[in-house]
Amino acid sequence: GDSVTQMEGPVTLSEEAFLTINCTYTATGYPSLFWYVQYPGEGLQLLLKATKADDKGSNKGFEATYRKETTSFHLEKGSVQVSDSAVYFCALKRGNTPLVFGKGTRLSVIA
């Protein structure tokens, strides 16, 4: 079945450091890919998405490119802030099937 694998956390970075969180997926067909963010004590918020190969999703300085050849959707940000501290989830979805999530990566940014 469909699955998502993302890098184990926690990830601790200093403010203004470069962030990469790796995500790879296994799925039949051509899924849509998502990154969700969960701040402490809150539900999930959609951060960005891409619906086809080579699409780049971007939001709030975060970017991820849908790479079909490597089945990857790595999340990047050039300069993280303390307010980016959260848990980040990579997910995929095919049509009206449910979202399939990775286990999440906790990011802590220290000033």
**Long-range Cβ contact pairs of 4-9 (< 8 A, separation 24 or more):** 4/90, 4/91, 4/92, 4/100, 4/101, 4/102, 5/102, 6/88, 6/89, 6/90, 6/102, 6/103, 6/104, 6/105, 7/105, 8/103, 8/105, 9/87, 9/104, 9/105, 9/106, 9/107
With CB under 8 A, what is the number of residues at the site for other proteins?
23
Nearer to other proteins, 17 or 108 (CB): 108
Binds other proteins by CB under 8 A, chosen from 29, 40, 43, 111 = 43
Pattern 50-69, other proteins, x by CB under 8 A: -x------------------
32 binds other proteins (CB under 8 A): yes
Binds other proteins by CB under 8 A, chosen from 16, 46, 68, 83 = 46
